[in-house]
Structure 1
Amino acid sequence: MNIWDIDVHTESIVKLLVAMLFGLFIGIDRQLKQKPLGIRTSMVISIASCLVTLVSIHAYDKFGGAEHPTMDPMRLAAQIVSGIGFLGAGVILRRGGDAISGLTSAALIWTASGIGIAVGAGFYVEAGYAVILLMFAVNLVPLLIKMIGPQVLNKHEISVQIIMEPGYQLTDVINRIEGPEVGMHKKAKVTGRTIRRIRIKDLEDGRQMIDMVLSCSDRDYATEVYNDVKKIEHVMSVEVEQL
């Protein structure tokens, strides 16, 4: 083993450590928010992507040359980008209707692989800037939008399932939820609740089930929606889930 080989191995170890560190940053952010992408997963993705990139590059140095003019040093790295999409698809959840969660985590899985590829190719500074911009985009930008952005951008969805007594007009319930008066006090004008999706189903004994998705302000919590709907007359049970 000559001095050049030692330098190559040392540089590879440094690249793997940097990739692990950047993956750690992404994982900590997701772990603090209790999202599907955790610390171990993000570090494994970054390290593995960096390793495959290193293998691809050094394989070209070792086996390439005039005898292999068509050998592409980034061919293996290119396969990471497409292959990692299957892993990202595993964290995307469809909760019913058009309510989907996990898209940010899936995007960060793909991004963690990109950061590993960048570090493996030797673009330390670019990878570092990418991590900083990611943390800014995922954490600070939503806070700025919440503080100074328009109200239409500061909304979240709540799934509400209601069981009604037999013979009650369902239209009255819908108007009470979306109208100016909910639970005997005016709150809808403050919260700005709107029904995005609704499904009605007949149950046994003449009861009816209303399954809806409400678009609410960020200050309108699931507990408030539950209390308001529970106060509506002829409501037998209420189930609320924040999407």
Structure 2
Amino acid sequence: MLTDYIIRLALAGLLGAIIGFEREFRSKEAGLRTHFLVAAGSALMMIVSKYGFSDMLGDQDVALDPSRIAAQVVSGIGFLGAGMIIIQRQSVRGLTTAAGMWATSGIGLTIGAGLYWVGICAAILVLIGLEILSRIFKNDFSKVITLEIETLSKATLNNVMSLLKDFDVDIVGYSYSKHEEQDSILYSYVITGRLKKRRDELTLLTALNELEETVSLRIL
């Protein structure tokens, strides 16, 4: 049984690492090591929950629930996933990674329970959802972008808004501030909008960079 337990831990860690590699390749909040630890840890909790108290089964008046410890992984992983979700300027980041972490813990529990092929198939489906589906649909949905621009002229805002309209960007909101910079006044704008054609992001950045009196420009 010891060899079987080690195989379960190793396989769970391997599947978690594969999913984590995909997240790390995309520079997401949690990467290879985090997913590896979540999967291996979940498998360990399942093994302990299912087999760790077998020596007490012969004791009188002792009743064990083999799913009790493993069940806490589901709620515990929620706190870890919540730390990856960031709300930044009316857009949510890290939600997919948090969901992937939750799925990875489920894979670890499945492997720890000895359901090898179920866990392997689940890992394949998670990778399909993270990688292949994102490639298929990456140009079909709008993307929330945040534009940070600093200019020397307040009138530049009209040019920026006009350019965003030409690129079919729906403006969600913007903020404005100004401060003195040596002998001039620097105007700062933060504009949030939805870019319907994601492939136009680089072209949009180039067009904005060509505006006169632009000091700095960044798209998030």
Distance change >3 Å, CA 19–CA 226, structure 1 → 2: same
Establish whether residue 163 from structure 1 lines up as the match of residue 142 from structure 2: no
Post-superposition offset of 1:9: 1.7
Specify the alignment match of 2:203 in structure 1.
Answer: 224
Post-superposition offset of 1:138: 0.9
SS at 2:200 equivalent: coil
Specify the alignment match of 1:201 in structure 2.
Answer: 177
Post-superposition offset of 1:58: 1.0
**Corresponding residue to 2:10 among 17, 24, 40:** 17
Unmatched 5+ residue regions in structure 1?
1-7, 181-187
Amino acid at match of 1:201: S
Q: How does 1:170-189 map to 2 (within 5 A)?
A: 170=157, 172-180=158-166, 188=167
Contact 1:23 1:42 in 2 (8 A): yes
Specify the alignment match of 1:215 in structure 2.
Answer: 194
Contact 1:91 1:105 in 2 (8 A): yes
Q: Which has the higher strand share?
A: 2
Identity of aligned residues (%): 28
Post-superposition offset of 1:215: 2.0
Post-superposition offset of 1:207: 4.5
SS at 1:37 equivalent: coil
Q: How does 1:95-110 map to 2 (within 5 A)?
A: 96-110=88-102
Amino acid at match of 1:220: D
Distance in 2, Cα, partners of 1:167 & 1:12 = 67
Post-superposition offset of 1:118: 0.8
Contact 2:160 2:208 in 1 (8 A): no
Amino acid at match of 1:161: E
Specify the alignment match of 1:92 in structure 2.
Answer: 85
Post-superposition offset of 1:31: 2.4
Distance change >3 Å, CA 166–CA 219, structure 1 → 2: closer
Unmatched 5+ residue regions in structure 2?
none
SS at 1:219 equivalent: helix
> What's the TM-score, normalizing by structure 1?
0.78
Distance in 2, Cα, partners of 1:163 & 1:24 = 42
Q: Deviations over 1:84-104 (max 9, x none)?
A: 22222333333x321232222
Distance in 1, Cα, partners of 2:154 & 2:68 = 66
Q: How many residues are treated as equivalent by the alignment?
A: 215
SS at 1:220 equivalent: helix
> What's the TM-score, normalizing by structure 2?
0.85
Specify the alignment match of 2:27 in structure 1.
Answer: 34
Distance in 1, Cα, partners of 2:74 & 2:22 = 22
Amino acid at match of 1:49: S
Distance in 2, Cα, partners of 1:215 & 1:30 = 24
Post-superposition offset of 1:41: 1.8
Q: How does 1:124-135 map to 2 (within 5 A)?
A: 124-135=116-127
Give RMSD over aligned pairs. 2.3
Post-superposition offset of 1:241: 2.5
Distance change >3 Å, CA 211–CA 174, structure 1 → 2: same
Distance in 2, Cα, partners of 1:103 & 1:29 = 15
Post-superposition offset of 1:211: 0.8
